[in-house]
Amino acid sequence: MAAGFKTAEPLEYHRSFLKENCRSDGRELGEFRPTTLNISSISTADGSALVKIGNTTVICGIKAELTMPPSDAPNKGYMVPNVDLPPLCSSKFRPGPPGEQAQAASQFIADVIESSDLINMEELCIEKSKLCWVLYCDIMCLDYDGNLLDACIIVLLAALKNAQLSEVTINKETDLAEVDIQKKKPLKINRLPVGSSFAVFDDSIIIVDPTAEEESLSTALLTVVTDEEDRLCAVHKPGGTSLSGEKLQHCINRAITRNKEISKLVGKYLSICPEVRRAIPAPL
Amino acid sequence: MTLKSASCATRGLCLRTMTELDQSCSVLREYGSEQSLLSKPDGSSTFVQGDTSILAGVYGPAEVKVSKEIYDRATVEVLIQPKMGLPGVRERTREQCVRETCKAALLLTLHPRSSVTVILQVIHDDGSLLSCCLNAACMALMDAGLPMSHLFCSVTCAISKEGQIIIDPTARQEKECRALLTFAIESVECNVLMSSTTGSFSVQELQQCIAISQKASEQIFQFYRDSVKRRYSKIK
């Protein structure tokens, strides 16, 4: 009977739960879904990770390639993030060129990388104006159940922490690059940006970590990205109903708490030795 | 700042607003707008902020493709054409911001199974591009006579490396700043409708920028009122 009500009147169904200060899957309004993390999922990539927030599953693979640095920044390498939402993850995505949501998500991740100063781009440069690393970060959603942006940020962070770059030297005589695959060193990550997404219902109730259903019924969506020093890297609210100053502040506080939870997860998990890590995915 | 002589276009005054907060200097560049300049779209407008200029056209309520129609409300589409080249990923994010803001302001349930299309053409980009797009979109929607629950305007703030907050930055100021924040403010309670930020900043800086934007938005709303009043007082 509840299933029938849910299909016929989805908004009323969710409202009846929100009146009791909880949600249809039993969570509190401010509760995130259980987050699990798996690292080195893709053996052919230089760095990879897989994240599950509830049912939302996102995988990231990092490939490092050698290229010439761009002419306007000859001493810096660069990163190219790409978010892919294939028809596999949800029936609302059709095959073909990337849709608007995928493109907006890719641009958002690129902005977060730049705003949070995640990696020192000068470190990716091998020789000024001649050779640098370009990191292709391919983020693919395998199962879309809401809260895509948070998952993308966590998976990118974990994959970068896991990435190993080979040592490259330039042979002075031949002027060619020599890659030493045996010697690998990890990337130095400056910051730990973590995102928290919120959905606004009926202009007043704010819920954290919305599922795909809750996202489609909400009147506004908000994503706040903070780093470990409690500085904001992004406040992304693409329209929707207005938010007052206090509600925004409340969301930012929740985002700061979430940052601490995720930093502990990523830090603790990465400190375990690689063999054990591959066997056990870490739960939060 | 000199007031340029008024042509058939309504020109806004450039006002200097010193806020009580810090030494932050909030000066909106000279802004102006013209409505109903194109004959084919249902509504059109240009919005000029300093040297940044956007031309907006609105078609609606019009026919919608069956694949895109929604049974109980109008479908809003936004297209942003850059000055050079084809629209890319950056334009898509801007389109998403403009579309969601327009969806919140328009009374879409009055026109089910129809479409409202907003087309924005970048004439010149000298900073605060997203703000100018939103302001031009709002003026064009007003010109088209589409029913809205509230008006919206947009303000961009840049935080310089020294921590100074600059409002309505030029392209050069945007390049040299540490953080860039764009807000869309609604006219009824001056709350934040849309927020798009790049760069990192503290929570206090965010609150300051929101307060400055809300104050600056009052000027822009007053400008909307004056330009509409001036336009309709001419019609006999």
The pLDDT tens digits of the residues spanning A205-231 come to 899 999 999 999 999 999 999 998 889
A27 phi-psi bin (left φ>0, alpha ψ -120 to 50, beta other): beta
A residues 222-281 lying closer than 8 A (beta carbon) to B: 222, 227, 230-245, 248-249, 252
Which residue, B171, B135, B143, B125, is CA-closest to B47? Answer: B135
List the single residue in A with minimal CA-CA distance to B188.
Answer: A242
Q: State the nearest Cα–Cα gap between A136 and chain B, in angstroms.
A: 16
Which chain B residues are closer than 8 Å to A108 by Cβ? 93
User: Which residues lie closer than 8 Å to B222 by C-beta, 6 or more apart?
Assistant: none
Measured between CB atoms, which of A233, A234, A238 is closest to B194? A238
Residues of chain B with pLDDT under 70: 1-26, 235-236
Q: How far apart are CA B204 and CA B194, in angstroms?
A: 19
Q: For residue B89, list chain A residues with Cβ-Cβ distance below 8 A.
A: 103, 106-107
ipTM reported for the complex, 2 dp: 0.87
Give pLDDT tens digits for B19-46. Answer: 333 444 568 899 999 999 999 999 999 9
d(CA A171, CA B96): 48
Q: Which amino acid is at A87?
A: P
Which mean pLDDT values do the consecutive 10-residue runs of chain A (284 residues) have? 86 90 90 91 92 95 93 91 95 92 95 91 88 94 95 94 88 82 86 92 88 92 92 92 90 92 79 53 55
Straight-line distance from the first to the last Cα atom of chain A, in angstroms, rounded to the nearest whole number: 34
* Smallest Cα distance from A235 to chain B, Å: 6
**Residue pair A139/A60 in contact by the 8 Å Cβ criterion:** yes
According to DSSP, the β-strands at B52-62 and B75-81 are: unpaired
Q: Closest Cα of chain B to A39: distance in Å?
A: 28
Please indicate whether, in this complex, the C-beta atoms of B195 and A106 are within 8 angstroms of each other: no
What pTM was computed for the model? 0.89
Residue to test with chain B: of A84, A242, A246, A254, most B Cβ within 10 A? A242
Domains identified in chain A and CATH numbers = 26-273 (3.30.230.70)
Residues 6+ apart with CB under 8 A from B8: B34
Does B104 contact A at CB distance below 8 Å? yes
Q: Is B199 on the interface with A (CB under 8 A)?
A: yes
Measured at the CA of B186, the angle between CA B180 and CA B187, to 5 degrees, comes to 130
Strand partners, A18: none
Contacts B186 to A, Cβ<8 Å: 242
Question: Mind listing the pLDDT tens digit for each residue in A77-126?
Answer: 999 999 999 999 999 999 999 999 999 999 999 999 999 989 999 989 88
Choose the closest CB to A232 out of B99, B203, B210: B203
Q: Indicate yes or no: CB of A107 within 8 angstroms of CB of B101.
A: no
With CA atoms as reference, report the closest residue to A107 among B197, B93, B94, B87.
B93
